[in-house]
Structure 1
Amino acid sequence: MKNFRYEIVKIPAYRGVGLKWDGPYTEITILKELIANMSSRVHELDHTINPKVQLGLSYHLRPDGFVHYSVYEVGEEQELPEGMMEINVPEMTYLMTHHTREQDIGQTYGKILEWLKISDYEPYIEPNVDYYDDLPIKHERYPSDRDVNNPHFDIYIPIQRKK
């Protein structure tokens, strides 16, 4: 595929602490507010691994929307601040690509789907879990200097070898 740059990377297990949203696509503005809120609360996390990178972990577990965790990677000694929760992400292999400013996010995800169709990989699916999207799990890493209206960020799609 032309002009599609990617890497296959393995990321060790890690712990994230932050805010959770579980809602329909029609309430996406509430999610955007939650992400901004989490960004402004990073100072409450004393054991952040990288306070300049906010993680967006999306799981398409509902037909009308998805579950999203807006978190920062933290050390095990991090306590949970008021109103926050934790998520433990297992070690996984990912397709990683970079979404640049001025690109259409839908196009970037479309290229990922195209690549998966011709590759030896498929999206990872947790056993006994129902998903409602062709890319059921999407992990994004946002730099703190991003422009929320024209963002650039890294996309990580958990993958496994095709069966």
Structure 2
Amino acid sequence: MKNFDYEIVEIPAYRGIGLKWDGPYTEVNTLKELIVSMSSRVGVLDYVINPKVQLGLSYHLRPDGFVHYSIYEVSVEQQLPDGMVELNVPAMTYLITHHKKDQDIGQTYDNIYQWLKESDYEPFREPDVEYFDRLPIKHERYPNDRDVKNPHFDILIPISKRT
């Protein structure tokens, strides 16, 4: 596929702490508020690994929406602050691509899906978990300097070799 820059990388397991959102697509505007809230609360995390990179981890576990974690990677010393959740992300293989400003996010995800269809990889799915999206798990890395209305960020899709 032309004009699709990506790489396949292994990322070790890590621990994240932040806020959880679980809702329908019709309430996605409340998710944006939660993401902004989490970015303003990074200061309460004493053992944050990289305070300049906010992570958004989406799991399509419901037919009308998804579950999203807005987190920062933290070390083991970090205590869980009140009102936040902890997420332990296993080591995985990812397809990583960069979504640039002024591009259509839906198109970027379509490009990922198209590449996967033509490759030796498929989106990773946890056994015995029902997902409701062709890309069931989406991880995104947002730099602090992003424009919320016209963002640039990295997209990481957990993948596995086709069997």
The bucket for the TM-score relative to the shorter chain is over 0.9
- Poorly superposed stretches of 4+, deviation over 3 Å: none
Cα distance in 1 for residues equivalent to 2:113 and 2:128: 23
Listed as ranges, the matches of 1:3-152 within 5 Å are: 3-152=3-152
Q: Number of residues paired by the alignment?
A: 163
Distance 2:79 2:100 in 1: 34
Alignment partner of 1:148: what SS?
A: coil
Q: SS where residue 145 of structure 1 aligns?
A: coil
Q: 1:92, 1:4 → 2: CA distance?
A: 22
Q: Which runs of 5+ in 2 are unaligned?
A: none
* Matched residue type, 1:50: N
Give the whole-Å Cα distance in 1 for the aligned partners of 2:125 and 2:139. 14
* Shift, 1:82, TM fit: 1.4
Residue by residue, what CA displacement relative to the aligned partner does 1:7-34 show, whole Å, maximum 9, x if unpaired? 0000000000000000000000110000
Tell me the C-alpha RMSD between the 2 structures.
Answer: 0.3
Letter in 2 for 1:95: L
Q: Distance in 1 between matches of 2:89 and 2:7?
A: 20
Q: How does the TM-score come out when normalised to structure 2?
A: 1.00
In 1, Cα distance between the equivalents of 2:139 and 2:113? Answer: 15
Find the residue that maps to 1:150 and give its secondary structure: coil
